[in-house]
A and B are shown apart, each in its own frame.
Chain A
Amino acid sequence: MANQSYDVSDCTEKIIEKYAATVYRLAYAQTRNRFDTDDVFQEVFIRYCRKRPVFASCEHEKAWFLRVTVNCAKTLYFSRLKHIFVPLDESIVSDEPQDDLTPYLEKLSPDYRAVVHLFYYEGLSTDEISKLLRRKPSTVRMQLTRARRILKDIIEEDLDEF
């Protein structure tokens, strides 16, 4: 029987390398820990290889990866709710980035973190985010506003920016 593997062709390798950082950062923005981020990262590319979607444009291709990343992180988040976790010993040193932003981002729910990341890091407009996440533009704007309220101590920009 022929070996029916997901052949990592040059094309797939290029795709992985092209979107590795984008997918990883968005997954990390939502999960806030490296272990879950690694899981989401692998799942996204497995879905890509399983489905082999055909894209109309580079924008379409990027939007697919962003949306599937958000969904994989959501699925992981819900599956985590089924398990009971014991908090780690605080003395264990984490390799997560620790800066002024960290405690504020921890306060946001995964949904809000996704919107904030797509807006501030990926530079998408609220209309683009609404199409990507299949939420109304008003919902996205509301979520950004609420997220910014939570982050207000470290945000200096004009609230009317979007």
Chain B
Amino acid sequence: MSFKENYHKHFDGIEPSDELIEKTKARLNVPLRKKNHIFAYSAVVCSVLVLAAICLFPKNQQNISSEAVFDTSPIAIENVERTPGSPISTDSDIPANSASMTDIIAFSEDLLPEHCVAVIEGKIVNAYYKEYKYQTYDDKFEENGRLNHREYSAVYEIETERVFFGQDIPSTITIENQFFGFCDEVFYMQIGRTYVLALCNAGENISFVGELASGNVKRESPLALFYPFQPQIERTASGDYIVCGGWNTLVSGQCREITVDEDVYWDKLYLVPKAEFDSKMNLLIKSYFTASSD
């Protein structure tokens, strides 16, 4: 029996139970949107009150507008004013994402103190894929055998604009990610865009399994993204920041939920106003780095 037939046989018996189908239909009948009406009515009432206040007290109008009023309603990612950027140019041989057979722990800012060596803000001025070809010793198939490897990493050259944390960070840095392309294309890092990046030291060589037999495995730079498996913090054209949910300190308080299309993978994204980002970031640095070094 061929693998395909075997595979079909394996899955042909796997079907949803009638109970599950009925349960699903029942769940879809649950009134889920009731709360939205409360919000909608509240929003209308609030709008009317604000308009009335502006009309009745024109002298206060200037005071109201002078304060940074940040809309906290959800916004679609397509409507976020992002800086134009261009992805890394590539030929068809290079995979869109690097493969990973390992389990990946979910991101949380609590992870930062252990290996994060810097948090910087900078603009990507150049980016490319670097190819590695090397051999490792392997006796699995024959004695003194060798395995051929071909891998790619993504290299970014960044003009540093601000350093939130880290020592001796030059004005231009290079970072190299052996893991790339783990989120949808809409979140790929692009040339011309500015990001706030948590960095780690990945060592002089790329990581590989086994003992090196031949080939060059030396990295362009020891610096790498601390957590390359999610969208990085991106500064928008308006100066606000697109931030993932795991950055609890940054997304606390006033921020705006960013919605993405149902068929795009990434569930929690927020737009953090520029007016609050710096203070939140400083708080985060103080919490995780200053405290631990004391």
Contact = CB atoms under 8 A, between A and B. Distances in A.
B262 A47 contact: yes
A124 interface: no
Given A28-B14, A134-B185, A74 B265 contact: yes
Contact of B28 (A6, A143, A154): A6
A12 B31 contact: no
A138 to B, nearest CB: 5
Interface in A85-103: 97, 99-102
A16 B21 contact: yes
A109 B100 contact: yes
Given A6-B32, A47-B262, A121-B11, A154 B99 contact: no
Interface residues of B, number: 49
A121 B11 CA distance: 8
Interface residues of A, number: 62
Contacts of A155: 3
B6 A101 contact: yes
Contacts of A4: 31-34, 36-37
B59 interface: no
Interface string B177-203: 000000011000000000000000000
Interface string A123-138: 0000000000011111
A124 B34 CA distance: 41
B110 to A, nearest CB: 11
Contacts of B31: 3-5
Interface stretch (B70-78, B79-87, B101-109, B115-123): B101-109
Interface of B: 2-4, 6-11, 13-16, 20-21, 23-25, 27-34, 36-37, 92-97, 99-101, 103-106, 108, 184-185, 262-265, 267
